[in-house]
Amino acid sequence: MYDKKDINKIKEKKVEWEKNHYSKLIKNQAERKDKFENLSGTEIRNIYTPEDIEHLNYTKDIGFPGQYPFLRGIHSTMHRGRLWTMRQFAGFGSAEETNERYKYLLKHGETGLSVAFDYPTLYGYDTDHPLSRGEFGKCGVAVSSLKDMEILFDGIPVDKVTTSMTINGPAAIIWAMYIANAENRGISKDIIGGTIQNDILKEYIAQKSFIFPPEPSMRLIVDTFEYGFKQVPKWNTISISGYHIREAGSTAVQELAFTLGDGIEYVKAAMKRGLEIDKFAPRLSFFFNSHNDFFEEIAKYRAARRIWAKELKKLGAKKSRSLLMRFHTQTAGCTLTAQQPEINIVRVTMQALSAVLGGTQSLHTNSMDEALALPSEKAVRIALRTQQIIAEESGVTDTIDPLGGSYYIEWLTDKMEEKTYNYFDRIEKLGGVIPAIEKGFFQREIAESAYKYQKDVDENKYTIVGVNKYKTDDEISIPILKMDEEGEKRQINRLEKLRKERDNLKVEKNLKHLKKAAEGDKNMMPYILDCVHSYATLGETCGVLREVFGEYEEPAIY
């Protein structure tokens, strides 16, 4: 780096520059803002120099790609050697319609699948349950049984394509359906790859699609960890998710701190069970948001890798693979506007570029019409092409971590880490993650952040192009996807037929065995798989666990 003599010279030059150049011009110009700060409220200086990062030790704090502390990337070659997996989150209406979309995306160059489920599925209900009425297929695909899973992946090589599934409360059951479908097709479960989100802590914090109380929910998650590394070794049994925390209104710092805090909690829970950290840690993965502040997002990803590596080392991880933070990124749905929807393409491009420069392993780019409806074929193709242009035309993948060494980026990465550890201290003082959830700490922090952000937008402190600035009176219309109105009826008829034709004695027997396992302390995954293989429905299987564990009721916190 620089020695003390160099730093002192730079400080002198900076003082001279500010006095004789910058300050003089500022006095003669109306400054663009009263205060320059990023979305986390960190004040941004006019310029950064070596003095801002003089405390950093290159080997210890920055290092090289593929080497501890992995700040510059988890692999030595990063995107020079292999591009990120291009996934487009997709799921709407029936399994048949969604299967068509998957084939369309794969045909156009997608390299991994990502499944969105509808609300009844997320809450563990079948489509014909009274609480499911009116919600079929609205925000994802309905999967009520193994039969739906078979249709969903019909004709798709699940042994060659990895699949990510955004499911939490009933994650173990949906995962069992995916495994059972592969097995029924003669594909061994030890070769299938993919991810289940399976992150229940952020459900209590932000997204709220929880089913069971924290203790049995954590037990189910640790069951999937244990079953996964023993039986399905290529599968990521959790995707610890900051995405929904950010969508609920958190800052980038809160997203980073709360997500990593949840991750550490899962590791501790697995170790408490007696699992060896170096056996399950390599299959832990993460999921982050990519928001509007370009450099803050890049700094967030870099800081995340360094913090995770340090914390896993403290917890006793010995293998290098256990220290790697592998993460998927999705561009920020909450930033998309219904006004002038075409300009969402520009927002998504910038957000996707920050994810790539931040070293993501997998990426979803939102479609321009998602503030209005589920994406049309044209919109989703443009979103996928956005990734392909970044990968194939921009040149940003030619070198690894091209922004590494930037005075600003390294300073900001350091600042993100510092603020994250401040949150860790606050959570620790509250007794840990679950006590902090029960006291409403995370929920209040996010609510206050969301309120402040919206207030700043309303007062024009932040510009949202097309919303509070550069508005137009022209009506802009784009084609909107139309849902199949008969899909819900077909789904309900399929469920009725399934219940008549399956071996109901076998279903009843398997559900009883699952109930007994849930009442004891056995790993529940083998019993869930038996239920699924016999075509017990999602609602029936979840119903047994509801009987044993009860349902979580969120405490009043305001």
Q: Tens digits of per-residue pLDDT, 249-282?
A: 999 999 999 999 999 999 999 999 999 999 999 9
Separation of alpha carbons 553 and 438, rounded Å: 11
| 50 part of a folded domain | no
Q: Residues with Cβ < 8 Å from 293, sequence gap 6 or more?
A: 38, 39, 252
Helix, strand, or coil (residue 285): strand
- 163 lies in some domain: yes
CATH number of the domain to which 334 belongs:
3.20.20.240
- Region 35-58: mean pLDDT is 92
Q: pLDDT class for 484, splitting at 50, 70, 90?
A: confident
Give the range of the structural domain holding residue 88, as residue numbers without chain letter. 69-458
Residue 5 lies in a domain: no
Residue 24 lies in a domain: no
The confidence score (pLDDT) of residue 226 equals: 98
Q: Which pairing describes strands 235-236 and 238-241: parallel, antiparallel, or unpaired?
A: unpaired
Structure confidence at residue 29 as a pLDDT band (50, 70, 90): low
Does 258 map to a domain? Answer: yes
pLDDT on residue 27: 64
Q: Is 360 helix (H, G, I), strand (E, B) or coil?
A: coil
204 occurs within a structural domain:
yes
Q: Please give the share of the chain, as a percent, with pLDDT higher than 70.
A: 98
Please give the DSSP secondary-structure letter assigned to residue 87: E
Q: pLDDT tens for residues 282-324? A: 999 999 999 999 999 999 999 999 999 999 999 999 999 999 9
Could you give the CA distance from residue 555 to residue 552 in angstroms, rounded to a whole number? 9
Determine whether 13 is exposed, middle or buried from the number of CB atoms within 10 Å of its CB (0-12, 13-18, 19+).
exposed
Confidence at residue 93, expressed as pLDDT on a 0 to 100 scale:
85
> What would the pLDDT profile of 394-418 be if each residue is shown by its tens digit?
999 999 999 999 999 999 999 999 9
Helices (H), ranges, 232-273: 243-247, 252-273
Q: In the prediction, which pLDDT does 354 show?
A: 98
Which structure tokens are listed for 383? 């979103």
Kindly report the number of other CB atoms within 10 A of residue 515's CB atom: 16
- Is 506 inside a domain boundary? no
**Cβ atoms < 10 Å from Cβ of 17:** 14
Q: With a cut of 90, say whether residue 2 has pLDDT above it.
A: no
| Angle, in degrees to the nearest 10, between helices 252-273 and 294-314 | 20
Among 347, 319, 325, smallest CA distance to 334 is for 347
Mean pLDDT in residue range 90-111? 93
Average pLDDT over residues 63-70: 96
pLDDT at 469: 93
Question: Residue 149: which residues within 8 A CB-CB, separation 6 or more?
Answer: 95, 143, 174, 177, 178, 180, 181
Mean pLDDT along residues 483-489: 81
Residue 372 structure tokens: 């209005």
Number of compact structural domains in the chain? 1
Query: Does 31 score more than 70 pLDDT?
Result: no
Average pLDDT over residues 182-189: 97
Q: What is the pLDDT, as a whole number, of residue 554?
A: 86
- pLDDT tens digits, residue range 423-452? 999 999 999 999 999 999 999 999 999 999
**Confidence (pLDDT) at 557:** 64
Q: What per-residue string of b and e applies to 79-103 under the rule 16 or more CB within 10 Å gives b?
A: beeebbbbbbbbbbbbbbbbbebbe
pLDDT band at 480 (very low <50, low <70, confident <90, very high): confident
**Average of per-residue pLDDT values in the chain:** 94
> Does the residue 354 lie in any domain?
yes
User: Among 223-237, 343-357, 475-489, which is the least confidently predicted range?
Assistant: 475-489
